[in-house]
Amino acid sequence: MRVRLFSSRWLCAKGTKRESKNYLTSPLLHQESSLSPEFAHLHVHTEYSILDGACRIKDALTKAKSMDMHSLAITDHGVMYGALSFYQEALKAGVKPIIGAEVYVAPRGRKARDGGLTEKPYHLVLLARDNTGYHNLMRIVTRGFTEGFYYKPRVDQEVLAENGEGLIALSACLKGEVQAFLLQDDRQGAIRAIERYCSLFGDDCFYLEIMDHGIPEQAKVNQALIEIAREKGVGLVATNDVHFVSREDSGPHDHLLCIQTGKLLSETARLKFSTDEFYLKSASEMEAIFPDFPEALSNTVDIANRCEVDIKLDQVYLPGYDTPAGYDFDSYLEHLARAGVKRHYGENPPKEVEERLNTEISVIRSLGFSGYFLIVWDFVRYAKEHGIKVGPGRGSAAGSLVSYALGITTIDPIRYGLLFERFLNSERIALPDIDIDISHFRRGEVIDYVADKYGRDRVSPIVTFSRLKAKAAVKDVGRVREVPYARMDTLSKMIPDDPNMTIDLALEQSQDLRNAYDTDSEVREVVDIARSIEGMVRHASVHAAGIVIAADAIDSYSPLCVQQKSGEGSAVVITQYDMYDIEKLGLLKVDMLGLKTQSLLELAVNLINNRHSVNLDIDELPMDDGKTYELLQRGDTIGTFQLTSPGMRSLMRDMLPNRFEDIIALIALFRPGPLKQNMHRAFVDQKHGRRAVTYPHESLEEVLKETYGVIVYQEQAMQVARTIAGYTGLEADELRKAIGKKKSDIMFRHREKFLEGAMSGGIDEATATRVFDLIETFGGYGFNKSHSTAYALVSYQTAYLKTHYPSEYMAALMTIYMDNQDRLVEYINECKRMGLEVKPPDINVSDAYFTPEDGYVLFGLSAVRNVGGLVVEQIVACREDAGPFRSFGDFCDRAPSSILNKKTLESLIKAGAFDSIEPDRSRLLVTYDYSVSGAERRKAERDEGQFTLFGGGEDDVDETTRIEAPEISKHQLLAFEKEMLGVYVSEHPLSDWRSLVESYSDMEIAQISPEMDKTTVTLVGMIARLEKRYNKSGKPWAVFMLEDFSGAISTLVFNKRYESLADLLVDDAVVIVKGRLDLLDSSRKLLADDVKPLPKGAMKPNGLELSVEANQFTEEMMSRIKEILVEHAGDVPVQLRLSEKGSEAHYVQLGELFSVGIDGDLMALLKSELGASSVTLRYPEIG
């Protein structure tokens, strides 16, 4: 029930009424006046008030405009994340933007940090009156994070006093300081606060806010505020604390509160708004709430009139770059570019190169971008000079000859037909994107260099916002409403798995979802609420690559905040404006991505150069290396860049790439669009002559010859337009953009232009039409060749290293992914396939990371759990100082006492690190503390100058031989190894039953791919991390990890199955699980229908299957296989499976003469001959 305010016709003391400035004369906007009551909302929380705001900026502006409001404010909690987006959208909507924030004011000062959550900061609304106020507001909000953050970004009176110019302050909601005093019946405290704020901002720039959302406390506070305003002559302003756009949004807003705070709707002890009045009300509604206080309403317009902020957009603000004497930006860039061209092409470059260089320099100069290229060149040069691996280029920048000449990219755009217009043209306003990939190990060094050069207050990472996607919104809404998991799981899977999917689009595309929505009221409610919050900001984080370099202190352009960056120990200061706003402001943004692949190459090359005393330059590899192409043709590319997926490896085996251009095409073709159109199949068939290569017009042979007549790249579509229709480079790029955006009106205009140009060149209309249809259809699936070429180069580099330096490459690869258990298991298995053994760490050989040796790779010491970097450094230092450790006792004698603690030593022992000097881990685990005690005693004696009569030393360890050490089982030792290293290394607990596991399992867990979702499979593995859980009805179900040789998958046994299967569900049990795959989420799951024990006894195989590619089954191979089979005669029948691409496999049952016994080395010999995956024992069905 609403509490009415008492009547008062006057709000300010005599003579204190503000002089109103007509905002219709604002240079920003011109609006016609309205006959409705005038009102401007000055207290509005958008979705960027991330905890509790639910106003989409566009929706709020649209509604304000529809209610004939000429102004609207943004006042998010403690931040300005959305201020610039709001400013731009408001101008587009014809609404005057008022830039503000509701800041938190710390009662005892911003540096006080001992109050915990019990000390609540006051709220205060600040509005920018002019550009000075806007800049001061940015500084205040910034300092709230950089100086006052304690649970929330807080400022204090000092910050406000130093930055108060140009601001109008409002006393905020019930959490404002004045209101807080009044709620405590401390009228004098409230008056003192008012006087202080009037002193800080000026008498005519501080207002008391009155609100009425039907909350009883507001009636009490409002009455006191009105009385004080009358008594002290302070302005009064009516506001609504807007958190959502319409009253109907109250329900979705409550769901959003639950999602953001991790609560359920049914919980009572949670953040919840007590009424549904917190919406964007019309002027009439506000007048109805405050009928006796018209000046409180008109003051909102008065304040809006006074706020005139004009933010300059679409400028270019480059930081100063110091050129050598006698050069400006343009001349120095040209000097460097021409020198680089000569370095690449010789003293007399070809005419084509000279013309291309002149064109590019001219465009860059005309746009004023020379300084930008110099800045990027400078930090790339620094990185390379300091041994920091930089990628060859990414995106369209690889199409720039200037970038290549400067060494920013390492791909020759002339040789590979890359177009400058795809990167930059004369009509561009914003700075182009030059994306730089850098070793993620040392990215920070490059950022430090840039910060030191241009000023640390001018360099910053950039914020990015994650939003509620369609599937996540549906799941989150279901969770807070306590819809059963299985039901929500089914519903969310009806939404197509597309990153650009929306709920509306899903309702169009998914008939299952549409049917459920139309027939099930619970589904409809969940979907409707999810649609209301879909796309809203979920949280802010640090952009993975974006760095801004400003010409002045960054908080002169963007407010700053503090965020915790993933994987980093301390928080980082970043912009509050995202990358799009930063670009719109004209600031220099560079994408400096710390890429693991570049770290991999850097580490692998260092290992190679150190082990082999060579000076391998990864950017100067021979691009025609036959062995590398053989590896690609076999598809042995697990662990390489972009070429590792089963589908890609299959495509390589079909394509048989034998030149670098084929790898470029592979990267471009292996994407959903081209695959769906079978472009990859046309490419392969035409490459191998199975289909004739044809061109839509003879003049296009030069354009399409490289890709056998298939339009694979966007650049080819552009070149077709230039060749056939006489397009300029700029026009061709416009056509490319139109094709990509599928804008029918623009495409219609291009069709007319294309046909006209083609026919004027003598091409008939039918041919011209056919060519345009072709580029419209297939050009839409074309990929950026510059990007594909850059990626292909990195792919080739990784494949080359894997081919020629397998030990070093795999050691580097496993080091990079040391913390990713699934990847590590995959790469250990790949090592075994390659004939490389992976061994536990060795205390005498291993360094911190994986260590390559001839024929094997050692785990690194830092991979051992509980062993930190400092411990590893001390161990390595001991080795380097006095040589390898001769025994465990010698290790204890020489190692620092800080290492000789229970946690570290047990971890090293369990991981097998001492196996080379003490192979009996069981004994060592029982006796190590005796060795440590003896070593500590000897160290103490040495320190005191005491010596035993016989010299002492490591012989004291002999006392451990008298200690009985019960043998630890092999299973337990392997479990220790898994515990400490995250994976099984010496062997796998399933090794004794490998043939059984392979026989009863449809596939290895690692072979499961997304397209297998919802299929039923049978998997064999070991139960690990079993958990018994209970559903809402109190009935039990179970979840566990099913582990095989290749990896693990989360397996769920729901209540229906659980009761009959409970006895089989035990940790370490080896089981056969039949179930349905659930793969659409980030976590893969197997929903079990049946579980059976693996028969590990004396079960005998009933068949041996040998799989052979028909084209490889030569007379010589057949003879060797026969010889092996005859030498291992027995009673297990043998079946030959002959397969051929594109055809069904043929099975040949061999006669009794070739039946075998499976003992001895039969399996090893056959696997050596045919490959491990080609030899399979078959066992009887289990009933």
**What's the CA gap between 461 and 562, in Å, rounded?**
10
Q: Which residue's entry shows tokens 């590792």?
A: 644
3-state SS track over 718-754: HHHHHHHHCCCHHHHHHHHHHHHHCCHHHHHHHHHHH
Question: What integer is the mean pLDDT of 1064-1089?
Answer: 88
Q: Both tokens of residue 718?
A: 């552009």
- Rounded to the nearest integer, the mean pLDDT of the chain is 89
Answer whether residue 100 shows pLDDT above 90. yes
Dihedral sign, CA of 564, 565, 570, 575? Answer: negative
Answer whether residue 144 shows pLDDT above 50. yes
Could you read off the pLDDT of 38-73 as tens digits, one per residue?
A: 899 999 999 999 989 999 999 999 999 999 999 999
**What's the CA gap between 599 and 812, in Å, rounded?**
9
Which CATH number applies to 39-109+142-164+210-306? 3.20.20.140
- Decide: residue 677, CB within 10 A, 0-12 exposed, 13-18 middle, 19+ buried: middle
Query: In which band, very low, low, confident or very high, does the pLDDT at 11 lie, cut at 50, 70 and 90?
Result: very low
Classify residue 563 as left (phi > 0), alpha (psi -120 to 50) or beta: beta
Could you read off the pLDDT of 426-460 as tens digits, one per residue?
A: 877 778 889 999 999 899 999 999 999 999 999 99
Query: What share of the chain in percent tops pLDDT 90?
Result: 64
pLDDT for the residue 812: 97
Nearest to 389 by CA among 95, 646, 113, 594: 594
**What's the CA gap between 977 and 983, in Å, rounded?**
7
Could you read off the pLDDT of 710-724 as tens digits, one per residue?
A: 989 988 988 999 999
Could you read off the pLDDT of 840-858 as tens digits, one per residue?
A: 999 999 999 999 999 999 9
CB-CB contact of 37 with 296 (8 Å): no
Can you give the residue ranges of every domain in the chain?
Answer: 39-109+142-164+210-306, 329-465+541-597, 469-534, 615-798, 833-981, 991-1093, 1103-1178
pLDDT for the residue 314: 86
Q: Among 101-115, 226-240, 872-886, 1073-1087, where is mean pLDDT lowest?
A: 1073-1087
State the Rg of the chain over Cα: 36
**What's the CA gap between 82 and 76, in Å, rounded?**
8
Query: In which band, very low, low, confident or very high, does the pLDDT at 1097 lie, cut at 50, 70 and 90?
Result: low
Question: What integer is the mean pLDDT of 5-34?
Answer: 34
Answer whether residue 306 shows pLDDT above 90. yes
Answer whether residue 617 shows pLDDT above 90. yes
Between 28 and 924, name the one with better pLDDT: 924
pLDDT for the residue 950: 44
AA identity, residue 640: T
Could you read off the pLDDT of 274-292 as tens digits, one per residue?
A: 999 999 999 999 999 999 9
Which CATH number applies to 329-465+541-597? 3.30.1900.20
Could you read off the pLDDT of 458-481 as tens digits, one per residue?
A: 999 999 999 999 999 999 999 999
pLDDT for the residue 1098: 56
Question: What integer is the mean pLDDT of 560-580?
Answer: 82
**What's the CA gap between 121 and 105, in Å, rounded?**
5
Could you read off the pLDDT of 170-206 as tens digits, one per residue?
A: 999 999 999 999 999 999 999 999 999 999 999 999 9
pLDDT for the residue 516: 93
Answer whether residue 573 shows pLDDT above 90. yes
Beta-ladder partners of 564: 571
Which CATH number applies to 991-1093? 2.40.50.140
pLDDT for the residue 35: 42
Long-range contacts, stretch 743-751, CB < 8 angstroms, 24+ apart: 747/776, 751/776
Query: In which band, very low, low, confident or very high, does the pLDDT at 8 lie, cut at 50, 70 and 90?
Result: very low
Answer whether residue 655 shows pLDDT above 80. yes
Fold classification of 469-534 (topology level): Arc Repressor Mutant, subunit A (1.10.10)
Helix axes 626-634, 785-804, angle to 10 degrees: 100
At residue 229, φ and ψ (nearest 5 deg) are -60, -45
CB-CB contact of 173 with 104 (8 Å): no
Q: Both tokens of residue 205?
A: 């720039």
Question: What integer is the mean pLDDT of 1092-1101?
Answer: 76
pLDDT for the residue 677: 84
pLDDT for the residue 960: 60
